[in-house]
Structure 1
Amino acid sequence: MVDPADGFVPPVSLADFAALARAVLPPDVWDFVDGGSGAETALAANRAALDRVAVLPRMLAGVDDPSTEATLPGGRAALPVAVAPMAYQRLLHPDGEPALAAAARAAGVPYVASTLASTPIEEIAATGATVWFQLYWLRDRALVADLLDRASAAGCAAVMVTVDVPVLGRRLRDARNGFALPPHVTAANLPGGRDDLAHQGTPGVSAVAVHTGAVFAPALSWADLDWLRARTPVPLLVKGILDARDAARAADAGVDAVVVSNHGGRQLDAAPASASVLPEVVEAVDERCAVLLDSGVRGGVDVLRALALGADGVLLGRPLLWALAAGGRAGAEAALALLAAELRDALILSGCPDPASARRLRTRIGG
């Protein structure tokens, strides 16, 4: 738990961190984190879909002290949760990625380090957290290989390849703001100068989109995934799956987990809510690999909903960035402690002694 001596007084809900973050962030940074693509239809759909999931609790189960531990790719975790990969965390707080990774370590959950982290992977791993490396597929295959080698040398416990960003979604808030990275925030895992375009602000243009368009490879294929599987000795996760046919093919390719995700509503604005397709994906992989849910998770009840829909766990994103902005490491620790308390209460109220048993709950869509 967070020591009150740190000076940070945590709110009582993960959603409350949003207002705290908005109060301290520059408006363009808030929009960069909070916004989605296009009309933000997919962004809104994520929350709406989770809100429509009703869970049928079991009564007389005799549960008063549930375990929140779960098995995730690579081992056990204190919660069925991993910190989602999120770029440029020094935008939110000077301590950036190491602060959030240290909070993840304290909470006993994996931290997923982004290719576009503003701190090198080696420094993130030095926090002692269980670190997974998130890979964006780059035009320079030699640089991809170098990033994988660095992640391995740093002791990363898993690799998560993101497959839903052939190009960056049209994020209109960033374009309207002419958003560009400030000088002190860099893509620290890329060689010097590879992120220059991200710092060149132009009215009506997202500099981050220009940069990713220059360095990301738009034609990622199943053959590339086969290459990555053969080269990756640690668990391999594929993030950005929505169609059950793709999930089945990924399982056939030998991945250890698929992450059902519409990128937090930041890519294809016509994409479905992640939660709405989760059961189809779970059925398609048929226990050949793990299934995680990403996009829209805002608290312990949402974790329970995901488990009841068949997921093995979730990725938690924006609420942890809000908490980082509001209170640095102390804020992130408070958010993860609150999530653990919320999940524990949800397990008791649903009659589940642990997350595995929550996967046997029944659900109703629409209340």
Structure 2
Amino acid sequence: MRKAASALDYREIARRRLPHFLFEYIDSGSYDQVTLRRNVEDLANIALRQRVLRDVSNIDLSTSLFGEDLAMPVALGPVGLSGMYARRGEVQAVRAANKAGLQLALSTMSLCSLTEVSAAAQKPIWFQLYMVKDRGFIRDMMQTAAALGCPTLFLTVDLPQPGSRYRDVRSGLTGARGPMGQLRRFTQCAMRPAWAWDVGIRGRPHQLGNVAPVLGSDSGMLDFLGWIAGNFDPSITWKDLDWIRAEWPGKFVLKGILDPEDARDSAKAGVDGIVVSNHGGRQLDGVPSSAAALPAIADAVGGDLTILADGGVRSGLDVVRMLALGAQGVLLGRAWAYALAARGEAGVAHMLQLMQAEMRIAMALTGCKNVSEISRDILVTP
């Protein structure tokens, strides 16, 4: 297999390797996928100022986020079911991230449990949590994460209920239940024999490791769909954050902020950071792209909170664009999931190498010697 030259190349390899319903799960957005497209297109349309004669012989990509030193302002963001894209996928991903001097934020909906992934990591990882009705489950997850040394908790707040993802229905992931649905997914798996052997057979057990204690030992990978529908808490308000903050000893970040007023309320709530995100275009279709929403949010709370962003980032050039718009770091999502599906740990490692090289070139050609020099000054304004 030839090496991919970009994250988009890895997308095509992932499409050919994964069973159809799994590829559709990671690749799709909600409704007509307007926001999914905006995330990518709005970033691509941001023009940069090329500068010359700036002495960019020593480019430094390193930064610090939430008290941790990172090799570049990038981390692997939480991606559900990523353990199905490669054998014990989250373990492979965290190894690649750590070798690159970066972090991984593990999803609550990961195949590999927090304990399993932490055991494979070189240092304590970040953890992403959903707010569910069962506060006992929330407390147990936070206690487990704290006991494992997780320094930063990301609470996803843009999912009071799941968005309508029609491609998941058409693929058979959510629209086909019972024996016929199982047969449909089995057929799709059989059409990908390399995946079926490496992940389908050798990658067992196919349980959501963090949720399995709630679902039961006989639960399967797709049982989480019904659990989500019945357990995500649509009644959560800003007041509930007080309880989280009282229970959680580390850094606390809200993921899914898209409005300046919500950003200001986040600062008032005393959190340490926010992630400007529309859930990869998988929730409310038609909302602005993360890139479009980011500048106003940065203007509102840039001096009060650490701001991360995700959505549509497919290259190191996109990372530089997000930083110029006001983010201090970027969470990768689909970019690392595609690479994982294509080549496992080696794919994620190579994708991060590409990101680093692309960032270095973009910084050199915009006259930035280090990350702190990336600002709106490097953008071409109308």
Question: TM-score, normalising length from structure 1?
Answer: 0.91
CA 1:130/1:333 → structure 2, altered by over 3 Å: closer, same or farther? farther
Q: Which moved more, 1:250-259 or 1:58-67?
A: 58-67
Range moving further from structure 2, 107-116 or 222-231: 222-231
Q: Is the aligned partner of 1:148 residue 2:123? A: no
Give the corresponding residue for 2:109: 116
Structure 1: which 5+ runs fail to align? 1-7, 202-206
Q: Which has the higher helix share?
A: 2
Structure 2: how far apart are the matches of 1:32 and 1:11? 22
User: Aligned residue for 2:58?
Assistant: 65
| Secondary structure, aligned partner of 1:30 | helix
How far apart are the structure 1 equivalents of 2:238 and 2:374? 33
Q: Which amino acid aligns with 1:144?
A: I
Q: Deviations for 1:304-361, whole angstroms, at most 9, x for unmatched residues?
A: 1011111101110111111111111111111111111111111111111111111253
Q: 2:5 aligns with which of 9, 12, 27?
A: 12
Deviation of residue 94 (structure 1)?
1.1
Displacement of 1:90 in angstroms is 2.0
For the residues of structure 1 that align with 2:42 and 2:230, how far apart are their CA atoms?
34
CA contact (8 A) 1:82 1:109 kept: yes
Structure-2 residue corresponding to 1:267: 283
Give the 5 Å matches for 1:1-367. 9-126=2-119, 127-179=121-173, 184-192=205-213, 194=215, 199=220, 209-359=225-375, 361-364=377-380
Q: Name stretches of at least 5 consecutive residues in structure 2 with no aligned partner.
A: 175-184, 186-199
CA 1:194–1:208: 2 relative to 1, 3 Å: closer
Q: Is contact 2:88–2:112 with CA below 8 Å preserved after alignment?
A: no
Q: Is the 8 A contact 2:366 2:378 kept in 1?
A: no
Match of 2:191 in 1: none
Work out the CA distance in 2 between the residues paired with 1:280 and 1:193: 40
1:226, distance to aligned residue in structure 2 (A): 1.9
Q: Are the counterparts in 2 of residues 77 and 108 from structure 1 also a CA contact under 8 Å?
A: yes
* CA–CA distance in structure 1, aligned partners of residues 142 and 240 of structure 2: 14
Residue 175 of structure 1, CA deviation? 1.2
Kept in 1, the 8 Å contact 2:153–2:253? The answer is yes
Native 8 Å contact 2:260 2:300 kept in 1: yes
Aligned length: 354
1:253 CA drift (Å): 1.2
Distance 1:129 1:303, change over 3 A: same
Q: What code does the residue aligned with 1:80 have?
A: P
Aligned-residue offset at 1:9:
4.4
Q: Structure 2 length normalisation: TM-score?
A: 0.88
Contact preservation (8 Å) 1:197, 1:210: no
Contact 1:135 1:159 in 2 (8 A): yes
Task: Name the SS of the counterpart of 1:332 in structure 2.
Answer: helix
2-structure distance, mates of 1:362, 1:352: 9
CA RMSD of aligned residues (A): 2.1
Change (3 A) 1:13 1:177: closer
**One-letter amino acid matched to 1:154:** L
Q: Percent identity?
A: 38
